[in-house]
Amino acid sequence: MIYENTDHSRRLNTAAGSAAFFLIVAGGTYLFQSTLVLVKLVNPYFHWAVLLMALPALAGLSQRYMKIVYPMSTVTFGTLASVVMLYPQYSQQFWAVPPTVLNVVVYLIIVVGIGFVATQSIATVYEKAFHLGRFKRTKSRSNKKVKKKVARRGSNALARRLGFDNRGDMIAMMELMIGVISLVLSLFSIFFLGQG
Predicted confidence (pLDDT) per residue in 63-78, tens digit = 888 888 888 889 999 9
Q: What's the farthest any 2 CA atoms get from each other in the chain?
A: 69
Least confident of 30-34, 45-49, 88-92, 96-100: 96-100
pLDDT surpassing 90 at residue 23: yes
What confidence score (pLDDT) does residue 27 get?
92
Which whole number is the average pLDDT over 6-27? Answer: 89
3-state helix, strand, coil in the chain (%, to 5): 80, 0, 20
The residues near 159 (Cβ < 8 Å, ≥ 6 apart) are 165, 166, 167, 169, 170
CA geometry: angle 85, 87, 91, nearest 5 deg:
135
pTM, entire model: 0.72
**CA–CA separation, 50 and 84 (whole Å):** 20
**Residue type at 10 in one-letter notation:** R
pLDDT in tens, 119-161: 888 776 666 666 655 544 444 444 455 444 444 455 556 555 5
- Return the domain boundaries, the chain: 7-195
The residues near 36 (Cβ < 8 Å, ≥ 6 apart) are 47
pLDDT surpassing 90 at residue 58: yes
